Chain A
Amino acid sequence: MRNFVMTSESVTVGHPDKLCDQISDAVVDAYLATGHRAGVIAECAIASGVVFLSIRAGAPAPVDPAAIARRVLAEAGYAPGDQARPPTVMLDLSHGAELTEAALARGEARHMVTAFGYACDHAATAMPYPIHAAHRMAQALDAARREDRLSWLSPDAQVQIAVAFADRRPVAIKAVALTFGITGDPGQTAMEDALRDVVVVPALTGQGLEIDADTRLLVYPATGPAGPDVHSGLTGRKSADDAYGSFIRRSGPALSGKDPSRIDRIAVYAARQAARAAVTAGLARECEVQLSYVVGDSEPVSVEVDTYGSGTVADATISARIAEVFDLRVAAIAERMGLWGLPAARGGRFYRGLASYGHMGRDELYPPWEDVSLAARLA
């Protein structure tokens, strides 16, 4: 028996780290939507309400980064009101010779990367249960605030969940912790009741596990509205939330703010696609795919699979089939998934949507890496 408790967390769109991710990806969206095919890297930090945004691109593009940053903040619920002033944005725009279209055409990995992808049968989205549940609650928090069902809730909130596993299957929710900023003070009990009824219970209903008498619900309101005026944020600091909530191994680099020539971003997507296809094909109940790339190569140096003993065939067989069915060359991944054209095809907004509530298992956004039509060829 393999029993353990796994924790995962998710944050709302107004969390400073996630604001930075969204701004970074909104910049990538804006660049690519103009038909930009050179590289672009956007990194963002927020401190004391000031947004620092650094953009390195291989070619200029007609976008207004400061306006994008403000738009993201406003849409996250930090609209400049009568009192609040529009935030200061400090931009650092530079040209990257290594990011020109010609330089990218070689289709080689520019970084050493070991990327992990995973899929399992915990939820319909093939995501591990803890992160799946955490994201659902974060989404519910945002929806409740947006629809004014929790008038005292500020846009900045965090959800954490502890789930007990038996034999690598989720069996019980041990605890749920909510940390959030508030405007006004509705009282601790009122908040606990409202959050249980409006957020936690609806979000977890029908997802396999329910909260019960043994589940601890921990509610920690901040002393004020929190948000970017109070605590700082940085692109890429929520990389566990972006992926599988620490359920499996993961590599460190940020996903947001990178164009599709960055192997450290797209290899993660490719690995997820392969893993989900393997699970869909019934080759395993859960499947972790590990892709490793070496600088200067266009193909991965290794494709490794671990099914944690749940495979119906040998792990080595699965990895061989994945390497055969999926073209995992750097340029081929972007090509197959249409990663350059997606922002334009989706009205200028694709990557930004992924920058909140995780990049994986987002079936409602139809990301190409959740497409498992190749599963049939794996079986």
Chain B
Amino acid sequence: MRIGVVTFPGSLDDRDAQRAIRIAGAEPVALWHGDHDLHGVDALVLPGGFSYGDYLRCGAIASLSPIMTEVIDAANKGMPVLGICNGFQMLAEAHLVDGGLIRNDSGTFICRDQRLRVESTSTAWTGGFSTGQEITIPLKNGEGGFIASAETLARLEGEGQVVFRYLDVNPNGSLNDIAGVSNARGNVVGLMPHPEHAVEPGFGPDTPAAMRSGIDGLTFFASVIERSLVGA
């Protein structure tokens, strides 16, 4: 399976997403924001970072990059797309998922090992989890507060499009403790925490078993690979 990772000017976790894909057993394909070409990939990751320096609004300028025409088209046709942190902000700006992200209620950037509950396993990226599973994934952002209108929020909750919820601490003031959502079809998932930073023992979050040993993020990538095998 070939999974594309789009690099925008100011992308930071693009190489980390590529590493995660490689560790999970798929082939990472580096894509450039200025091209109108997805190079035949089977799935896409919009990585974290500060694309365009977060100027205007986080993800707003990147959502208008040339390659986004192809990304939106592919997403609408059902290609699995994962937006991580800044990538989630781009998905929201491109209206591929509902809601928006605002400045953390603390007013500061926050980096922490965040516990999450998996609320939906029927997306392209979460099939390998069990519903209600509790996982730990690093969170690091300044503008991760999830907001949506009451109506949208009710629909997301009602339709099972809330995919992850913060546990223990709501680190940024997100409504309903929402950490990640999907589109109605479930092929597009966006979340603020960084699964690509919990894929390799020694470099992930701490766990009770050992320092930096958390690899819960691997299941995101394993899920989409498994799905493609089943689909094939």
Same complex origin of A and B: no
